[in-house]
Amino acid sequence: MILLPFTFYREKASKAILSNLSYQFFGKANDPVTAGYYEKFFELVKREILSLSKGEGLNLDTRITKTKREVSKLRADLFFGLKTGGFVVYADGKDKRIEFKYQHLEKALPENFQHYSCDEINNSFSGIYNDVESLLKTL
């Protein structure tokens, strides 16, 4: 998750800060504004776009037009589809899609952990309580 510093800085200052970061991680976006913001970080590439024009009425002519347009290399919809642990990393002018795998960590008590009985815990609590009570009486 990237934190947007717009609340503290103006837009130009925040862009200057973000452009000086060596590594930027872009995670899942839940709204179109954020996804569009992420899309603007990546380079523009020329892609061939096909458009189809169909005639109406008695004119049955169909035309296919090929044009080249500059579009962002990574589109906004990519950021909606990222799964848990999935990020797009931008570093040194290059981008890469990565996924961190969930690591199952074994949970165990420390080796030197001591078990105390209920009587030991109650006695310790009573001792602390009596010490605090006697300190408060002296004030």
The closest alpha carbon to 31, from 99, 77, 75, belongs to 77
Q: How many residues does the chain have?
A: 139
Looking at residue 4, its pLDDT comes to 53
- Give the pLDDT mean for 40-51: 78
Is 107 part of a structural domain of the chain?
no
The number of distinct structural domains making up the chain is 1
Rounded distance between C-alpha atoms, residue 51 and residue 78, angstroms: 23
Is 129 part of a structural domain of the chain?
no
Is 88 part of a structural domain of the chain?
yes
Name the pairing type of β-strands 94-99 and 86-91: antiparallel
Looking at residue 128, its pLDDT comes to 96
CB 91 within 8 A of CB 24: yes
Looking at residue 127, its pLDDT comes to 96
Full residue range of the structural domain in which residue 13 is found: 5-99
- Give the pLDDT mean for 65-85: 81
CB 42 within 8 A of CB 90: yes
- Give the pLDDT mean for 93-119: 86
Rounded distance between C-alpha atoms, residue 46 and residue 73, angstroms: 9
Is 56 part of a structural domain of the chain?
yes
Q: Indicate if the pLDDT at residue 7 is higher than 90.
A: no
Is 48 part of a structural domain of the chain?
yes
Is 116 part of a structural domain of the chain?
no
Q: Which residue(s) pair with 24 in the sheet?
A: 90
Is 133 part of a structural domain of the chain?
no
Is 54 part of a structural domain of the chain?
yes
